[in-house]
Amino acid sequence: MSHRAALSRRIQQFRFGAYSWLALLLGVLALGAEPAELVWSSVLVLPLIPALLAIAQRSLGATASDVENAATPSLIGLLGLPMLPTAAVLGALLTGTVAQLGWRCLPRSAGLAAAGWCAGSLLAPGISYSASTVVDGLCLAFMLLYTTPLCALGYEETMRMHRMRERLRTFSNELERQRDRLTRYVAAPVAARMNGHTNTMAPLQRRWLTVAFVDITDFTALTELLEPEDLTSLLDAFFATLSAAADRYGGSVHKFLGDGALISFGEVESSGRRGDAQACVAMLGQLETLVVALNKAARARIIPAVLAVRAGVASGYCSVGDFGAGRRLEYTMIGSAVNLASRLEGLASSGETWAAQSTRDLVGADLFDPLGTFVVKGVAEPVAAFRLRVTGSVDASQAAI
């Protein structure tokens, strides 16, 4: 049984006990009431109230609590009960509402109870009751024995909800930490979808991108020269510096490729074809400066290594999205621009950045030296290649428009 069902069952038990007590109270009052017929009739009707509430709920479309909060005070007002029994019944009614529905429902319930009692009082036939210490004793005992455990039930439910909120807060914080950790392993678009709480495959999108491959030259020689700890430290510093540079110019590291990285511009946020190409070339123009700083830091740590990089860049339409099937997916991009940028990076020498004509035309010819045409694997026709002339000082604002 669910907690909500168990709570409703306990509330029903309290409600049954309240109506049983009210029937006993009316029976005692009827002994000294004038006329007593209406009081005795109410005693007979009380056991039927739960069924009548259900019928009223279905026919009126109101909740059982609202119907009860209006109907029971109407009966009390119609019978013209003395003050102490009236206070006991109304107090029990409102206490039960708070225990079941919370404090926010109290104003509404009190309003319905007041309206019902007033309506019943206006129709009351004027029944007189004899003073009875038994009735007073029953009312006081009821207030103590009914409201106290009901209030305890309400407090228990409040504390349960508080504990549940604390568990949910802890769980939410843990999910946030896990999400932050996962975003370090995936591309920015994947992280954005994770934040959107979707578990569906991202449909392929055909988008114009400027993509760059940046690679460490002679990495095999570095692996033979350096201890694994030093090599890991050098790679971490290189990737951290490269990621920071990409972020600074508005690009995103699509993925790390062992000793290199694929960086895209226009994948997450775009400044237009020309703006994305200019930003990418501006970032690549800073590679030499970044490498000099990394080598200086390595020498300070007595790491016997000289880091050098090369890059290739191209612009064009790419298909971006999730690839794979079943439970194993990978977010990646495919397209001629990606292949061409990779081939140009492979042709470049240490310290060089080669660009395709698509990127050169968007940025401007004054930043590049023509290298001629080359036969590139996977491309039917020879492609024109251009070498980025300015290194260490290229800025997006300097690119020709």
> What confidence score (pLDDT) does residue 271 get?
87
Please state whether 61 falls in left (phi above 0), alpha (psi between -120 and 50) or beta: left
Closest CA to 335 of 326, 323, 327, 348: 323
> What confidence score (pLDDT) does residue 400 get?
32
Place of tokens 């946030």: 176
Query: 136-188 pLDDT, tens per residue?
Result: 888 887 777 777 776 676 677 778 778 888 888 888 888 777 767 666 666 66
> What confidence score (pLDDT) does residue 165 get?
86
- In CATH terms, the superfamily for domain 200-398 is Nucleotide cyclase, GGDEF domain (3.30.70.1230)
Q: At what angle do helices 83-101 and 106-122 cross, to 10 degrees?
A: 150
Q: Which residues contact 316 (CB under 8 A, 6 or more apart)?
A: 208, 209, 335, 336, 337, 340, 356, 358
Place of tokens 């504990």: 163
What residues in the chain have per-residue pLDDT under 70? Answer: 1-14, 47, 50-54, 56-64, 99-100, 102, 150-151, 153-154, 179, 181-202, 325-327, 390-401
Q: At what angle do helices 37-45 and 3-30 cross, to 10 degrees?
A: 160
> What confidence score (pLDDT) does residue 392 get?
42
| Residue ranges per structural domain of the chain | 3-165, 200-398
Q: Where are the beta strands (DSSP E) in 217-294?
A: 252-256, 260-265
> What confidence score (pLDDT) does residue 196 get?
57
Q: Note if the bond before 35 is cis, omega within 30 degrees.
A: yes
Query: 69-104 pLDDT, tens per residue?
Result: 787 888 888 888 888 888 888 877 777 777 667 677
pTM assigned to the model: 0.55
- 203 DSSP 8-state letter: P
> What confidence score (pLDDT) does residue 354 get?
94
The CA distance from 197 to 193, in Å, is: 7
Place of tokens 């019978």: 79
> What confidence score (pLDDT) does residue 279 get?
94
> What confidence score (pLDDT) does residue 90 get?
81
HSE of 359 in the Cβ direction (CA atoms, 13 Å)? Answer: 36
Q: Contact 371/385 with Cβ under 8 angstroms?
A: yes
The CA distance from 179 to 190, in Å, is: 11
H/E element, 292:
helix 287-300
> What confidence score (pLDDT) does residue 183 get?
63
Place of tokens 């988008």: 207
> What confidence score (pLDDT) does residue 7 get?
62
Q: Which residues contact 103 (CB under 8 A, 6 or more apart)?
A: none
